[in-house]
Structure 1
Amino acid sequence: MSQHATARPQVRPSSRRATAPTPRSLRVVAPAPAQGNGWFLALCVALVLAGFVGVLLLNTAMAKGSFTMRDLQHRSDELSDTQDDLRHALDAVSGPGPLASEARSLGMVPAETPAFLRLSDGKVVGVAKKARKDETFSVVTESSSTARATPSTPPTATSR
C-alpha cells in the first residue's frame, strides 16, 4: 500500500434523531439513617432552661436587695430624725440660760474677778477673789426674751 491513502468519511449517528426513551425501573429507597440520637437537642433544651432559671434567680435576688435597701433607707431616715431631735434637746439644755439655772441650783455664783490658767507655762493670770452670792444677778434666756417681745395687741399699719 502506498502512503497516499484517501480518507473516507465515517458516518456518525445523529443525536437529533428522535429515539424513544427507554423506560427506567423504579425502586423504593430507604430513609437516610438518623445522625445522632437526640442528645444534642436535649442539651440545647437543658441550656435554655438553665438560662431561664438563672435569670429568674437573678431577678429574685435583685428584688430582695431592693426591699432590703428600702428598709435600710427608712431606718436611716428614722435615725437621722432621732439625731436631729437629740441635737435640738442638747442645744436647749446647754444654752446659757439653762446652764446658769443649773449652776445656781447647785449653789454656784458668778465670779467677780476671774483668774485664768495659761497652759503653755502653767502660770495663773489674774487674781481670783471669793465670790459672794448676789441675788440681783439674772440671765436672760431665749424663752423669756421672746415672751416679752410678743406684743399683746397687733401692730397697726400706721405704726411703721
Structure 2
Amino acid sequence: MSAAPLRRPRTSTAVPTRATQPRERGTSQDRRHLRAVSAPEQARSLAPFAWTCVLIIMAALASVLAITTAMSEGAYERRDLKIEIAQLHQQRAALVSELEANSSPTYLAEAARGLGMEPHTTLGFVSLTDQAVLKQGE
C-alpha cells in the first residue's frame, strides 16, 4: 500500500453552484475571522518605580528625623523647667520659713522695741457697734 491519498473519480461535469464555488477573497465571512493585532508592548523601565520608592523612604526618614529632633528639644525644655520648678520650691520654702520666723511673738517684740515701742500694761477692746474703745484693767 502506498502513502498517497485515494482520489475519487468525478461523476459529474456540471458547473459548480455558488455553495460549492470557492469563496472570493474579502467576503464578510473571511473578515469575521480577521482581527487587528496590537503592537507589542514596550518593556517598561523599573527606574521610575525605584526612584519613587527611594523618595518615599527618604521622606519617611526625614520626617522621623524631624520628629525626633522636636522631641529632644521638648525634652531639654522639660528638663530646664523641672530645674526651675525645683529652684522655685526651694525659694518658696526659704521665704515661708523666713515669714514664720518674722511672725513669731519674740521677733515681733524685738522689732517693736527697736522702733521705740513699749509694752502696754492694760488690755482694751474695740466695739464696732458703739464705735468706742473699751479698756480693762484701769
TM-score over 0.5 for the alignment? yes
Query: Higher helix proportion, which one?
Result: 2
Q: 2:118 matched to 1:109?
A: yes
Cα contact 2:127–2:134 (8 A) shared by 1: no
What's the % identity of the aligned pairs? 33
The two structures have a TM-score, normalised by structure 2, of 0.60
Q: Which runs of 5+ in 1 are unaligned?
A: 1-30, 131-160
Cα contact 1:115–1:127 (8 A) shared by 2: yes
| Matched residue, 1:126 | 134
Letter matched to residue 92 of structure 2: Q
Alpha-carbon shift at residue 38 of structure 1 (Å)? 2.9
Q: Which runs of 5+ in 2 are unaligned?
A: 1-39
Q: 1:122 to 1:40 in 2, by over 3 A?
A: farther
| Matched residue, 2:61 | 52
Structure 1 segments, 4+ long, off by >4 Å, are none
The two structures have a TM-score, normalised by structure 1, of 0.53
1:10-159 superposed matches below 5 A:
33-35=42-44, 38-119=47-128, 121=129, 123-127=131-135
Describe the SS at the equivalent of 1:126: strand
Cα deviation 1:104-148 (Å, max 9, x = unaligned) = 1222222223333344x3622512799xxxxxxxxxxxxxxxxxx
RMSD: 2.6
| Matched residue, 1:27 | none
Distance in 2 separating the partners of 1:44 and 1:113? 95
Alpha-carbon shift at residue 83 of structure 1 (Å)? 1.3
Cα contact 2:124–2:134 (8 A) shared by 1: yes
Work out the number of aligned pairs and report it: 99
Letter matched to residue 132 of structure 2: V
Higher RCO (CA 8 Å, separation ≥ 6 residues): 1
